Amino acid sequence: MNPWLAGGTLAALLHAGLPWALHQRLGLAVASRVRAGRGELALTFDDGPDPGTTPAVLEALGRHGVRATFFLLHGRAQKHRELVRELVEAGHEVALHGGIHRHAWLKNPLTLFPELKGAKEALEDLSGAPVRHYRPPHGGWTWPLLLATHRLGLVPVQWEVEAGDWAPGARPEQVAAKVLRRVKPGSIVVMHDAGPGGRVAGKALVHLLPELLAAGYRPAPLNALSPVVAGTAELAPKLLAPVEAAFARLYRVEPVFFGAHSVFRLAPARLPVDLPGLPRGTPGAEIHMDSERMRRAGEGGSLAAFRAARASMADLARAAKENPRFQEARVFFGTSLFWEVLAPLGFETAPLPPGYARRVGLWMYLLHRAYGGRPLRRVEARLVYLTWKDLLGW
């Protein structure tokens, strides 16, 4: 192989490829979410300010009393100082998006620090407020850029949910629906108040904000929340997410999410064991926990996690009544290591076949630890269940 070609390939991999994989795809060393024990999330807007589109975004946010974070380009902020002041006066956070909208891969690594430092200081002078968060254009990182971000005391921010308002042909209703499908407590959502996305975002918020608030979400700017800069503890859940998604597709598990609190999923299934009055094979629905949602509910403490599960019982009852896939179910059941905790919710318990209990118990314990759960003194998986009539009592 040509040594120049090999050297160029290696340089491109180190400069762009590895940062793309580690920071953009896996989200390591950047903040893609915030701590969320009570349905908090962050709405963020890139590329502004723009007097042609930013006011519509501000109007929609103000109508619903929602504050957000605006990642501003320093060059545009200087041209539209009155719009920057309007953002601050409305209670929104001003954050840094850079000087101009250029991908980090195309910038000189040697000039990144002075450029970023100058843009940060100028934006602070314009806004009269400290700049604490930085997101580069396109969410593109390089290691020199990440180092410069840390040297300036800025929190590097990515996103968990991309609204796609910038996409060709994007319609406000579609953008709102996409965010509602993908959002969860703690999500950082990225939209745009300038450029192609800016022409869509204001109208999309008209549809999105009432739905988010009605579902119990609590939008706030990043400076009022606690961004989670992902370390190795966040890696296991990110790597397991595709595995859980594949499992859901294979076994037709669907979310039962009617609010920010929702943590359960359901799949049509037949009862695997004999129960009093319910023989094996009885039509039913198997309850699955959404591990990531429960993990985030637990960030508010054990009581907050229990409250999320209790509030989600009404979701199961609603699905039993409204979803045709579950209207023939006579029993709703699942497998749990925490069957004692579920008793106050009305669940009965029953033993599982020993071999199956060991296998599924080990897998569930591994998931529990991967999602940040503490070590358990006892690992015992049991069947938990509710009859159709008991569930409808919720």
Catalytic residue annotation: 46, 192
- Rounded Cα–Cα distance for residues 45 and 60 (Å): 13
Query: Which of 168, 164, 158 is CA-nearest to residue 204?
Result: 164
Query: What is the residue-wise DSSP string for 364-386?
Result: HHHHHHHTTPPP-S----EEEEE
Query: Which of 137, 146, 55, 38 is CA-nearest to residue 97?
Result: 137
* Secondary structure string (H, E, C) spanning 258-293: CCCCCCEEEEEEECCCCECCECCCCEEEEEEECHHH
- Residue 266: strand pairing partners: 254, 287
Cα 103 to chain centroid distance, Å, stands at 24
Task: Please list, in sequence order, all residues whose beta carbon lies within 8 angstroms of the beta carbon of residue 341, skipping any fewer than 6 positions away.
Answer: 306
Contact 158, 140 (CB under 8 A): no
Match 């200087």 to its residue by tokens: 78
